[in-house]
Structure 1
Amino acid sequence: MKLERAFDFLYHQLETQPRHDCLSTRKGKQWHTLSTPEVVETVNRVSHGFIKLGINRGDRVAIVADNSTEWVLVDLALQQIGAISVPLYPTITVEDATYILMHAGVKMAFAGTAAMQRKVHDALGKLTCPIYSFADIEGVSSWREVEALGADGDDIMLAGLRDSIRADDVFTIIYTSGTTGRSKGVMLSHRNVVSTVTATAEHTGLPEGKLRALSFLPLSHIFERAGVYYYMSSGTSIYFAGVEQLSNALQEVHPHTFSAVPRVLEKLYEKLAGKASELSGNKKKLYLWALEMAENFDPNVKMGLWQKAQYALADKLIFSKWRTALGGELKWINVGSAALQPRLARLMWACGIMVAEGYGMTECSPVISANLFDADKVRIGSVGVPLPHVEVKIADDGEILVRGPNVMVGYYKDAEQTAETIIDGWLHTGDIGKMADGVLTITDRKKEMFKTSNGKYIAPQVIENKLKESAFIDQVMVVGDGQKFAGALIVPLFDKLKEWCAQQGIAYTSDAEMTHNPKVQALIDREVKRFNRYFGNWEHVKKFALLEKPWCVDKGELAPTLKLRRKVITQHCRDLIDSLYQHHPA
């Protein structure tokens, strides 16, 4: 069959390689599994239920839930009647959810847990909008009620409606944070995501109809969602589990592949490196020797006889145990959403697990480029080569421009922003990079917004502006690009600090000394935590450093307009910034 719409992947699997474990979700200690035919039947019943509830083509429906079979069933059911899903991160704040739900004009919402249901309820306010839950919550309608309504639906009518859906129809709106804090609704069409899935299949060449995949990254992000469509298209069984269940899921599912953000591999590395502290004597020396070998492994370099012998020994004694800890059958990992530390990629390749780091953005559905699962062609430290049918060029100022069938339809209700982002058919990514021998490397961020190693966007100005509402904070710069969490450099408002010290009976010595005073640091810590509550958990400033002198124009730290010159400040405060991320627990 011709694959043109995202839901076509399900029917393609049904026709060519149906699985007994098409979709599985870990609930408690048990895995609940649906076969491909059962998934198709359930999706059709839910579609009929939507129709009876008055959900029409173009209507928006929100999904706020952790990864689960139900998430995908509702998503597919909406797609094949032409309705538009609006996924939200489960960790979203009520304030952000309110904006998105109102801006999208949702007609219905689905929540995964009681806490998420309350959050959606509070965000909707007085807006009349039914909320259904994936969990059993007293007083809240279950998603099963939607399915039950569609039990006697007209399948011929549904087939006609399904056939009427076109490749260029919008099937989802995904809201991404902008540098000003205002979320933008990225409209993606079936053509956008189908092009990504088919190009990814051509690019990776993984075996079809034989694999098991683990899904734990949020389905509210198009990276994992497109991955699920890819698994479905290739006849790969999908197992959903939360990140907190990852260790158990690896041992129970024995996956062959999964997608990850760098933070997942960072946590793995921390466990492996920490294992050495449990050993002593020759065992510890052997372990550290193998760990160092893995960190410096280069898949592009052919080993000599002596190197092969050393590697074989390390593999037998150490690397094989690492593979067992990851389920024993893992072979392929796609990594995206943030920069991956090269040593982590080298370690996985040394372990016999191929890691392909890629690059993308929601506006590109999301993959732009990726490394290959090929020891001769992978280029660690780069983001690989553009996917088939995706064009990449570097503008005169170094910005990465993208053109192809994966580029979004535009921003919902924002023609002006769309026109500023897509110019003459080329999407301006806001990232700086270079191409060498067809391989793309990201070198800088054109925009101030950055990502943590968890793949979460941080818009620093919004957080900085909120922190500066404190009477004790004069200047602040949020940092953390590629790190585990957001940190901050803070210049106290020293005049106000002197007043506070006098009130507390604290002797004020000098600005420099007071930045190290435990009581002053505790004061600023309380202020930071007070303002953290306005943001999502991933945006919280978890560590900070106090500076004794304000940034100034004369030193190039401030522009004449008094805006922060982040690169200059970063250079001047490099050691201080690095200290925020040393010896800090995950």
Structure 2
Amino acid sequence: MIYYHYAELIQRQAEKYGSRTALKYRDNVSGKWLKISWREFADKVMLTAEAMAEFGIEVQENIGVYSQNMPQCLYTDFGAYTNRIVSVPMYATNSPAQIEYIINDANIRTLFVGEQLQYNNAFKVQKESAILKRIIIFDSSVKLNPEDKTSVYFDDFLRFGDNTHAASAVKIRMNGATPEDLATIIYTSGTTGESKGVMLHHSNYLEAMRIHDIRLPMVTDKDTSMCFLPLTHIFEKAWVYYCLHKGVKVAINLDPKMIQKTLVEVRPTLMCNVPRFWEKVYVGVHEKINSSSPFMKKIFLDAIETGRLYNLEYKNKGLKAPCGLSTKFAFYDKTVFTLLKKVLGIDRGRFFPVAGAPLSDEVNEFLQSVNIPIRYGYGLSETTATVCFYPEEGFIFGSIGTIMPDIQVKIDEANNEILVKGKTVTSGYYNKPEENAKSFTEDGFFRTGDAGRLEGNVLFFTERIKDLYKTSNGKYVAPQAIEMLMSSDKYIEQIAVIGDQRKFVSALIVPVYSLLEQYAEQKGIRYENREDLMSNKDIIRLIESRIEEHQKNLASYERIKRFTLLSQPFTMEGRELTDTLKLRRPVVAKKYAEQIEAMYQE
């Protein structure tokens, strides 16, 4: 297998595939899916590269990409790589303050933006910035601020490079590209402190391609992958790059809220996603089961149990299932399971990587039982995504998978921290020498900040070390593990476990408001507003019973003793969540200090 530097990957694939579809996206006006061939893709990348050179963007200069998923994001990334320029992605949901921090830290003079919101935020920053000089806008319908004299629409930007001088400059740069060139700086979401820029070189990505080829021989150029997670997220970015390396067709979901519709329209064979997506599938299916007639409920439950026995007790263990079980499973697979997957738009699915947060065994077991081919794993921005993931067979529940080829993992004896070493590991954080000194061991292993254990080549995750709580009784509590237990409950949308230096564990809970309203209607519970409903004794008893059911196997000191129902959810805008939907525990503790203190009053 040839591993092309990203400076030439798209051009080489265009030579191989020509008019075949490389990318597709749903037009917001017509609702039709528009196709982009490999040749068209390569042409746009080259025009972007030439325009960058003509604009005076230097070799290894940092540019910013502040946009939701769009084809232009990929034109910009690969146009940059063709020029040996560094791409710095930013979440479309980032606030002006967040992008200002990245622009200042990475010294970004040129920023590519998506739609009106991103443009408005960027221009606000540019007006006060001594660094940001120009904004280039993907969406041609964006209305410019009357004061704006420097911004350019992307289509107009491309015309700047349509000359022989620019083409010659790009060719020279392209020929000088090396694996050691810096490719991207991906800023961490900063759950506990200041965001840090993870430096990833082309050598990191090239190694990631190589080791994924070893583990994923089933991925071919006949596959279609749905690009749903933000391309700012290393999981989606590295996965899409891998798909392009394999010649996979990539369908770009422009609007996260449209995913249920676009999945049914595209019916992808591949899609990487986070556990929360699958938790909602789990809750939705069980809602459907519970509202069915007794006969249909019996059928559904029998199908799930049959799938569990076949897939987990036999297939996963490399055993041949009894003839009767195989026949029964085949029947359910072609009827109940296929119908379920068709409704979701994943009936053609062959491989669905899942990572980014802990996935409960309960949800995992259900998905495996109904024959949804998820492959749970673990990785970080600092490791170019994947450190480990489930093998097709022989995976172990409770683990986060089998370690990737040529990746070294060991456990720090002092605090059980997971340490990683390999060619996919970052060279360090941008402009953060002190952080770099703390982040690597003397023998070159990266400190992940996660606790775990190793059994042979299988890795188990315990908890984010910074998240570990120590109660006033001296007991250590892992809040993520408790939160994961609650995540599969249909009434619980979000939960923040509290307990650091406290006498017992408590929780702030954001319920699924619509289901609580339905419950109130069924039980004849009267209320005036959401706050009134959240304080109703019957509603509190309901949630209490749900919590008790999920934590019955926990140690007494780990159990939630008190909780508060919140009338408003945790959000990115409210700063309780990062752009990757992780809890910012210090923000939650500060914002809800009054409610937390109330739970500990005698």
- Cα distance 1:530–1:245, how it changes in 2: closer, same or farther (>3 A)? closer
Name which of structure 1's ranges 104-113 and 89-98 shifts more when overlaid on structure 2. Answer: 89-98
Residues 262-288 of structure 1: CA deviation (Å, up to 9, x unaligned): 111112122211222442131222123
Matched, 1:319 2:331: no
Q: 2:401 aligns with which of 372, 379, 384?
A: 384
- Give matches, 1:79-118, under 5 Å: 79-118=81-120
- Contact 2:53–2:169 (CA under 8 A) maintained in structure 1: no
Q: Match for 1:75: what amino acid? A: D
DSSP 3-state at the match of 1:381:
coil
- Separation in 1 of the partners of 2:300 and 2:567? 42
Q: Which residue of 1 aligns with 2:494?
A: 485
- Cα distance 1:530–1:395, how it changes in 2: closer, same or farther (>3 A)? closer
State TM-score, norm by structure 1: 0.77
Q: Which residue of 2 aligns with 1:235?
A: 247
Q: What is the Cα deviation at residue 150 of structure 1?
A: 1.5
- Cα distance 1:530–1:314, how it changes in 2: closer, same or farther (>3 A)? closer
Matched, 1:399 2:417: yes
- Contact 2:308–2:370 (CA under 8 A) maintained in structure 1: no
- Give matches, 1:532-543, under 5 Å: 533-534=574-575, 538=581, 539=583
Q: Identity of aligned pairs, percent? A: 24
Q: Which residue of 2 aligns with 1:571?
A: none
- Contact 1:486–1:543 (CA under 8 A) maintained in structure 2: no
- Contact 2:494–2:569 (CA under 8 A) maintained in structure 1: no
DSSP 3-state at the match of 1:177:
coil
Q: Which residue of 2 aligns with 1:41?
A: 43
Residues 423-463 of structure 1: CA deviation (Å, up to 9, x unaligned): 2211111112222231111123222289xxxxxxxxxxxxx
- Cα distance 1:300–1:115, how it changes in 2: closer, same or farther (>3 A)? same
| Structure 1 unmatched ranges of 5 or more | 451-476, 492-514, 553-586
- Separation in 2 of the partners of 1:85 and 1:517? 51
Aligned Cα RMSD in Å? 3.3
- Contact 1:331–1:352 (CA under 8 A) maintained in structure 2: no
Q: 1:345 aligns with which of 364, 368, 378?
A: 364
Q: What is the Cα deviation at residue 44 of structure 1?
A: 0.6
Q: Match for 1:114: what amino acid? A: Q
- Separation in 1 of the partners of 2:188 and 2:164? 36
DSSP 3-state at the match of 1:33:
strand
- Separation in 1 of the partners of 2:268 and 2:38? 19
Residues 78-116 of structure 1: CA deviation (Å, up to 9, x unaligned): 111121111111112222222112111111111111011
Name which of structure 1's ranges 387-396 and 256-265 shifts more when overlaid on structure 2. Answer: 387-396
Q: Match for 1:355: what amino acid? A: I
Q: Which residue of 2 aligns with 1:172?
A: 184
- Cα distance 1:277–1:186, how it changes in 2: closer, same or farther (>3 A)? same
- Give matches, 1:425-464, under 5 Å: 425-448=444-467
- Separation in 2 of the partners of 1:122 and 1:478? 38
- Cα distance 1:67–1:449, how it changes in 2: closer, same or farther (>3 A)? farther
- Contact 1:17–1:209 (CA under 8 A) maintained in structure 2: no
Q: Match for 1:25: what amino acid? A: Y
Q: Which residue of 2 aligns with 1:281?
A: 294
Q: Which residue of 2 aligns with 1:27?
A: 27
Residues 335-367 of structure 1: CA deviation (Å, up to 9, x unaligned): 111112223333333333322111111111121
DSSP 3-state at the match of 2:349:
coil
Q: Match for 2:381: what amino acid? A: T
Q: Which residue of 1 aligns with 2:203?
A: 191
Q: Which residue of 2 aligns with 1:137?
A: 142
Residues 172-228 of structure 1: CA deviation (Å, up to 9, x unaligned): 111113454201111110001111122112111124221111110110011111111
DSSP 3-state at the match of 1:485:
strand
- Cα distance 1:343–1:153, how it changes in 2: closer, same or farther (>3 A)? farther
DSSP 3-state at the match of 1:260:
coil
Q: Match for 1:436: what amino acid? A: E
Q: Which residue of 1 aligns with 2:264?
A: 251
Q: Match for 1:409: what amino acid? A: S
- Separation in 2 of the partners of 1:60 and 1:531? 26
- Contact 1:490–1:547 (CA under 8 A) maintained in structure 2: no
Q: 1:271 aligns with which of 263, 274, 284?
A: 284
- Separation in 1 of the partners of 2:353 and 2:258? 19
Q: Which residue of 2 aligns with 1:502?
A: none
DSSP 3-state at the match of 1:3:
coil
Residues 523-570 of structure 1: CA deviation (Å, up to 9, x unaligned): 996999999735557458599965656499xxxxxxxxxxxxxxxxxx
DSSP 3-state at the match of 1:300:
helix
Q: Match for 1:352: what amino acid? A: N
- Separation in 2 of the partners of 1:489 and 1:431? 19
Name which of structure 1's ranges 381-390 and 35-44 shifts more when overlaid on structure 2. Answer: 381-390
Matched, 1:300 2:311: no
- Cα distance 1:46–1:289, how it changes in 2: closer, same or farther (>3 A)? same
- Cα distance 1:150–1:449, how it changes in 2: closer, same or farther (>3 A)? farther
- Separation in 1 of the partners of 2:327 and 2:251? 38
Q: Which residue of 2 aligns with 1:152?
A: 163
Q: What is the Cα deviation at residue 35 of structure 1?
A: 0.7
- Separation in 1 of the partners of 2:189 and 2:260? 31
DSSP 3-state at the match of 2:98:
helix
Q: Match for 2:3: what amino acid? A: L
- Separation in 2 of the partners of 1:349 and 1:284? 19
Q: Which residue of 1 aligns with 2:69?
A: 67
- Contact 1:392–1:402 (CA under 8 A) maintained in structure 2: yes
Aligned length: 498
State TM-score, norm by structure 2: 0.76
- Contact 1:252–1:327 (CA under 8 A) maintained in structure 2: no
- Separation in 1 of the partners of 2:294 and 2:575? 50
- Contact 1:107–1:130 (CA under 8 A) maintained in structure 2: yes
- Separation in 1 of the partners of 2:367 and 2:386? 22
